[in-house]
Amino acid sequence: MNGTSIVARIGPLLGVVLLCAASSGCYEVQAVDGQLRLMLERRPIAAVIGDPATPPKIREQLAQVAEIRDFASRSLGLPDNGSYRSYADVGRDYVVWNVFAAPEFSVEPKQWCYPVVGCVAYRGYFKESAAREYADRLRRDGLDVRVGGVAAYSTLGHFDDPVLSSMLAWNDVELAAIIFHELTHQLLYVPGDVSFNEALATLVEQEGVRRWLSALGRSADLDAYELEQRRYEDVVGLIVRARAGLEALYASDLPSAQKRADKGAAFSALREAYAQRLAQWGAHAPFQSWFRSDLNNADLVSISTYESCVPGFARMLVRVEGRLPEFFAAVRSLAKLPQVERDASVCGPGPQAGPQAPV
């Protein structure tokens, strides 16, 4: 990309930066500044691979990314654009840190609303210190809060998203998953409906990984992935059931002191149920880092946002016998409906799925 085209693309963003800089405490300025820095760091993957200064490990991973990226468009029907065809070194473990929050006695998330993306259940920062400072403010207001590092995100096709150095801590299966996930956001995104968007991307991610591993004949890796998914779904089931119990507790007429005590007991029971699985599964148990911290309502928000509607999308894919073009057409039609109708179609109760005991 030449200098003229860069200026043409970032001119509107620079206007936002200047506008925000004129007012104190403007949240958008750090978001725009962080995005600008990423854009300026991008280099074509082919150039990075061909650079003698590139470490062999990174060269190998980026070659895998190039193959994964081609599979995403060729075999899954995901956007064939410039995203994930360039590389940027962010110089840190995470590219952004998301802040989730919920009231002390509610499992409903605090929402933040922005242009283009609509309202979402998190607020992202390019600097961890800024995220934690904001989280502390929310805690002082009496909210349950969680700060989580994020290794990748999507600009929804408004820019050509690069592969980030923060993504290269993963193996190739995890890289494939995140690329399929983020490209799905570029294929279809309903402003303000986070559960719909994240569940759709999660379903396509999972189906994409299965098809990619099958196409490569990596049956052992596919079996390992399926086992990991069953365990993941089992833990998600634990969390969803805990959330439902807490929702009933918070809606009750019990005094606050009793609710607080019962809330603590509910999270302790969730930890104990997970500990039983961890004892059986060992080193490969999902969610280990999540359960190492003190759990609160904000944690339930971060999980339910991504998982609550996945089974509904899975049922839709089964109904079209796995044909992705028909599936995407059905999803686009669904996206045009009012949210209450979308929720009833994919986020409402369906046949019970997933194991109820350790796998």
Q: What is the pLDDT of residue 120?
A: 82
d(CA 100, CA 145): 6
As a whole number of angstroms, the distance between CA 173 and CA 356 comes to 26
Q: Count of CB atoms within 10 A of residue 119's CB?
A: 13
Give the per-residue pLDDT at 306: 62
pLDDT for position 336? 95
What span, in angstroms and rounded, lies between the C-alpha atoms of 206 and 218? 15
Mean pLDDT, residues 252-263 taken together: 97
Confidence of residue 305 (pLDDT cuts 50, 70, 90): low
Question: Is a pLDDT exceeding 60 seen at residue 290?
Answer: yes
The pLDDT of residue 56 is above 80? yes
Q: What is the mean pLDDT of residues 47-56?
A: 96
Cα 208–214–220 angle (5° rounding)?
115
Angle, helices 56-76 vs 194-215, to 10°: value is 100
Task: Decide: 27 and 133 in contact? Cβ < 8 Å.
Answer: no
Mean pLDDT of the chain: 87
Residue 43 and residue 87: Cα distance in Å, rounded?
Answer: 5
DSSP 8-state class, residue 337: S
Higher pLDDT, 3 or 80: 80
How high is the pLDDT of residue 282? 84
Contact between 209 and 232 under an 8 Å Cβ cutoff? The reply is no
pLDDT at position 194? 83
Measured distance CA(327)–CA(324) in Å, rounded: 5
Contact indicator for 86, 162 with CB cutoff of 8 Å: yes
pLDDT tier, 353 (very low <50, low <70, confident <90, very high otherwise): very low
Average pLDDT over residues 276-285: 88
- Is pLDDT at 253 greater than 80 in this prediction? yes
**CA–CA distance, 156 with 335 (Å, rounded to integer):** 16
Residue found under tokens 């603590």: 264
For residue range 95-113, what is the model confidence (pLDDT) as tens digits? 999 999 999 999 999 999 8
Residue tagged 């007991």 (tokens): 265
Which of the four pLDDT bands, split at 50, 70 and 90, describes residue 69?
very high
Closest to 215 (Cα-Cα) out of 176, 187, 163: 176
The answer on pLDDT for 315 being more than 80 is yes
Could you tell me which residue, 225 or 157, shows the higher pLDDT?
225
Residue 10 has pLDDT above 80, yes or no: no
pLDDT at 115 over 60: yes
pLDDT at 347: 82
CA 146 to chain centroid, in Å, comes to: 15
What would the pLDDT profile of 15-28 be if each residue is shown by its tens digit?
333 334 333 356 77
| pLDDT (0 to 100) of residue 350 | 53
Cβ neighbourhood burial of 318 (10 Å; 0-12, 13-18, 19+): exposed
Q: Hey, is 147 helix, strand or coil?
A: strand
Domain ranges of the chain: 26-189, 219-347
Percentage of the residues of the chain whose pLDDT score is greater than 70:
88
Question: What does the pLDDT average to over 80-104?
Answer: 95
> In sequence order, what are the residues at sequence separation of 6 or more whose Cβ sits closer than 8 angstroms to the Cβ of residue 191?
116, 117, 118
User: Per-residue pLDDT for 5 more than 90?
Assistant: no
Can you give the pLDDT at residue 349?
63
Q: Is the pLDDT of residue 114 over 90?
A: no
- Res 13 pLDDT > 50: no
